[in-house]
Amino acid sequence: MALSDIALLKSITHYFLHLIFPVFIALVFFRKDWKKAYLIMLATMLVDLDHIFANPVFDPSRNSIGFHILHSYYAIAVYFLLLFFKGNIRIIATGLLFHMLTDFQDFYLWSH
């Protein structure tokens, strides 16, 4: 597979996991209010605002996990603890943790 094909597949996978897959998470774990859960999980992408403090803002060879403040291991531990709350807090925690998983796979499962 050509390097450009791999880069395209990586981008498609990245955006699928950030934008589409949360629908399935919402349907499985928050069936009663899946639309609300999906929108909340989409809103958790605001966690990427911490990228504006990095120089350069976007570096495809940089691992977000452990680099950006809202992607730090301490932040991820807090997101995990938020799973023990009910309601919207649990949905937010789920979205944030899945976001971290998506960023993790971006760096570790693809050639960089």
Ordered per-residue pLDDT tens for the chain, 112 residues: 787 888 899 999 999 999 999 999 999 999 999 999 999 999 999 999 999 999 999 887 889 999 999 999 999 999 999 999 999 999 999 999 999 999 999 888 886 5
Copy the structure tokens of residue 79: 């997101």
**Which candidate, 82, 101, 100, places its Cα nearest to that of 92?**
82
Q: Is the pTM of this model over 0.85?
A: yes
Backbone phi, psi, residue 41, to 5°? -65, -35
**Which candidate, 106, 97, 99, places its Cα nearest to that of 11?**
106
Backbone phi, psi, residue 54, to 5°? -95, 155
Q: At what angle do helices 88-108 and 73-82 cross, to 10 degrees?
A: 140
